[in-house]
Amino acid sequence: MIRIGVYGLGKISHRVIQGILYANNADLYAVCSSSLEKANAFKKEYSAEKAYDDYEQMLHDQNLDMIYICTPNYLHAKHIQMALKNFKHVICEKPMCVSSKELDECFDYAKKQNCFLMEAHKTVFTPLNQKLFEMISNGEIGQVKSIDAQYATRLTESISEWHFNQAGAGCMFDIGVYPICYANRMANSKIKQVFRLKDEALIEYENGCVAHIATSWDVSMENTSHIYGTKGSITCKNFWKNIVALINENRMIVSQKSDFTGEIEHACACVEKGLIESPVMSRMASLEILKVIGV
Ligand SMILES: NC(=O)c1ccc[n+]([C@@H]2O[C@H](COP(=O)([O-])OP(=O)(O)OC[C@H]3O[C@@H](n4cnc5c(N)ncnc54)[C@H](OP(=O)(O)O)[C@@H]3O)[C@@H](O)[C@H]2O)c1
């Protein structure tokens, strides 16, 4: 069992913690907030062993194996490096870093400290998307030639200020990374070139596949992915968390307790194997996402 400490008890942390609680190889050991009252409330609600109101203090806890970082994007690199300095393994919410330079520095440091580091892209690890990847790899829809994926949401509800005024701000970093990581994974090839226009991009992969990705905070979109192969196609609405897809006209459904559990089980399995980098969500996979954003 990998004992995890969650840092940053903001909006997404509840769903991350649910994901940890369902994981078969993870234990919610600690929670850490700027407010002890909040940390204690989370500790009680989710039966964690420890509540901290100081990140450094949590990092000195010898019982802790891994930190799950849920803080604002512009602080991720700093919080990753603090964890690595204390020889903690790290899984960090997307976008892990706001530039390729920052990302390389984090992975270089993880290597030096012999610690595991992975960007938390749940999209790649949901049961449905793992199954779809396997089907595509087995040639079930032939050669994948074209991918179209979007994630847009109108900003009707309150969203934190750092989404607008800090490094790593904007909808591409916030939700554009979902269609990007999905397209990169399903294309299963390195990127050859990217044509970016505002919040959309055309990606050509070395294997000849072309993807169109789009995101927006201003308009609603279908929020659907289409994967077109030479022998068939796959369609999936809300592809970053869904349990249902259409393979040609046939409905496929999988079971899922939490859309976060897959990525957490994968990261913990990597740590148990002594890996310092995921073979799936690797440094290269994270760099390829930033390549599409152009940073
Ligand atoms: N994978 C997904 O589906 C998904 C969905 C949404 C967001 N995310 C990612 O998760 C991360 C957090 O997003 P969120 O929506 O939960 O953000 P949020 O509501 O703003 O919460 C961020 C938390 O980080 C902590 N924090 C530490 N230092 C801070 C500082 N200087 N300023 C502000 N907060 C600070 C705070 O925790 P305390 O209040 O406990 O002190 C704060 O509540 C982001 O990287 C985001 O992209 C992922």
Q: What is the CATH number of the domain that holds 170?
A: 3.30.360.10
Last residue of a domain, one of 72, 90, 120: 120
> Is the CB of 8 within 6 Å of ligand 1?
yes
pLDDT at position 164:
82
Expressed as residue numbers, the domain containing 227 is 127-255
**163 plus 246 within the same structural domain:** yes
The pLDDT value given to residue 244: 98
DSSP of the chain: -EEEEEE--STTHHHHHHHHHH-TTEEEEEEE-S-HHHHHHHHHHHT-SEEES-HHHHHT-TT--EEEE-S-GGGHHHHHHHHHHTT-EEEEESSS-SSHHHHHHHHHHHHHHT--EEEE-HHHHSHHHHHHHHHHHTTTT-SEEEEEEEEE----S---THHHHSTT-SHIIIIIHHHHHHHHHHHTS-EEEEEEETTEEEEEETTS-EEEEEEESSS----EEEEEETTEEEEEETTTT-SEEEETTEEEE---S-TTHHHHHHHHHHHHTT-SB-SSS-HHHHHHHHHHHT-
Best of 6, 11, 153 for a ligand 1 pocket test (most atoms within 8 Å of beta carbon): 11
Does ligand 1 have an atom closer than 6 angstroms to the CB of 94? yes
- Residue 158 has a pLDDT of 67
Shared domain check, 159 and 66: no
Residues 81 and 193 in one domain: no
Answer whether residue 277 is part of any domain.
no
Distance between Cα 283 and ligand 1 center (Å): 22
Task: Write out the chain's pLDDT in tens, 295 residues.
Answer: 999 999 999 999 999 999 999 999 999 999 999 999 999 999 999 999 999 999 999 999 999 999 999 999 999 999 999 999 999 999 999 999 999 999 999 999 999 999 999 999 999 999 999 999 999 999 999 999 999 999 999 886 668 888 888 888 899 999 999 999 999 999 999 999 999 999 999 999 999 999 999 999 999 999 999 999 999 999 999 999 999 999 998 999 999 999 999 999 999 999 999 999 999 999 999 999 999 999 9
- Closest approach atom of ligand 1 to CA 9: 40
Q: Is 93 in the pocket of ligand 1 (CB under 6 A)?
A: yes
State the total domains in the chain: 2
| Whole-number pLDDT of residue 155 | 83
Is residue 75 located within the same domain as residue 97?
Answer: yes
pLDDT value of position 162: 84
The predicted pLDDT at position 88 comes to: 98
